[in-house]
Amino acid sequence: MAVARCGSIEIMPSLDLTRGSSGLTALVRALCDTRSVSGDERELADAVEDALRALPADRVVVTRLGNNIIARTNGAGARRVILAGHLDTVPVADNLPTREIEEGGETMIWGRGTVDMKAGLAVMMQVFADIVSASERPLHELTLVAYDNEEVASELNGLGHLVAEYPELLAGDFAVLGEPSAGGIEGGCNGTVRVHVMVPGVAAHSARAWMGVNAIHGAAEVLNRLRDYKPATICVDGLDYRESLNAVKIVGGIAGNVIPDACTVTVNYRFAPSMPAAQAIAFLRDFFSPYEVQVDDEADGARPGLDAPIAREFVDAVGAATGKGAVAKVGWTDVARFSVLGVPAVNFGPGDPTLAHHDQERVSVRQVIDCYAALHSWLTNAADFTR
C-alpha cells in the first residue's frame, strides 16, 4: 500500500474504520504509510481526526490539541476505559512503504512503525470505532487517545502535555496502552534515571604524568562498583521487575599529551516501580559516594495496579483469550503517565518488542487480529464491569 501520487501531489492512504476486523491489515498499512516521523505527525493526525469525526456524533466528542487527538464517548456509564497509542515513529530506514510478506507460514506486515506502534494503534482505533458504531450503547465509556512525539525527548511527549494541561480528558478507571507486547499483557513499567558520575583529576603533561592525577584511571573505581553490583528482582503487585545499573557512556581527556583532569561516567539505572525516582537518585548518590553525581534525566515507573478489580478482570479475560498471563514490562512506557493520574494501566498490543525500531520491523497479521478480538471481547462482554 504505497502512497499514491497525482502529478507531484501525494495522496495519503485513507483510514477506513467501517470494515471492522476485516480491515485491520489495510488500516495498519495506511497508518504506517502516512508520514509521521516524530515532529512531523500533522498529516497522520489529520487523517486520524477525520476518521474519528466520521463516527456517530451523538456518541463521540472529538478534541484536537496540536497533533493530539482525544475521542470520548459521552454516555453516563459508571466507568471509563482509556485506549491509547502514539502516532509517531523513529526515522524511516528504507522500510516504507509497507508490504506483506510470508514468514514461517504467517503473513507479516513489514515496514517502519508496524511494531512500534501502528499495529497497536490500529487495534485501538478499530475497537473504539466498532463499539461506538454498534446499535446498542456500550457497556462502559471509552476514551481513545492518539498522541505525538513519544519517540523523542520526554518534554515533547504529547501525552505528557495532556497529563499536565488537560488531565480531565484523561480521567478514567483503567488504561490500555497499545505498545508492542507480543500480544501479551505487560503490567506497569520500570522507572529510569540517568546520571553523570564526575571523576576528578589533576592535569599534567603526559611526559610528566606523576605530576598529575589521571581522572580516566580514577574512573576504574566507578566501573568496578558497577561491575560488582548485583541487580535485584523485586515483586510489585505480583509481577517481577528486574533492576539494571549500567555505564552507558564515558567522556574524558582533551589531548593526546595531557593527563585528563576530569572524566564523566554516564550511568543508567532502571528500577522497580515500588521506588520513586527521588529514592533511586538518593541511592545512586550514596552508591557512588564520594563522587559528585549530576542528574541528567529521571522518570518514575508505574505500578501495574493489578490489584484493582477492573485490572484483574482484564488480565483474567484477555489472558484467557490470548493464553498469556501478565508479566512485568521491561523498560519505561507511557503507562507511567497514567499512573501519575491514579489510573492503573497496562501495555497490550501486537508486535515483538525486540523488533521495535529495527530496520526489518514487521508484525504478524494473526497477532493483530487476535489482539483486536481479545480487547473487543473484553470491552463488550464483561458483564460484571458495570456492577
Whether 150 sits among the annotated catalytic residues: the reply is: yes
Catalytic residue among 41, 116, 148, 150: 150
Taking residues 294-323, what's their average pLDDT?
A: 89
Q: What is the DSSP letter of 2?
A: P
| Residue 157 in grid coordinates | 511527549
- pTM (2 d.p.): 0.86
Distance CA 88, CA 151 (A): 7
pLDDT > 60? residue 36: yes
User: Residue 387's pLDDT is what?
Assistant: 29
pLDDT > 90? residue 66: yes
Domains and CATH numbers, the chain: 4-189+302-386 (3.40.630.10), 191-299 (3.30.70.360)
pLDDT digits (tens, 9 = 90+) for 221-274: 999 999 999 999 999 988 999 999 999 999 999 999 999 999 999 999 999 999
Whether 46 sits among the annotated catalytic residues: the reply is: no
User: Residue 384's pLDDT is what?
Assistant: 40
Catalytic residue among 41, 49, 88, 148: 88
Distance CA 114, CA 98 (A): 8
Contacts of 65 (CB under 8 A, 6+ apart): 161, 162, 166
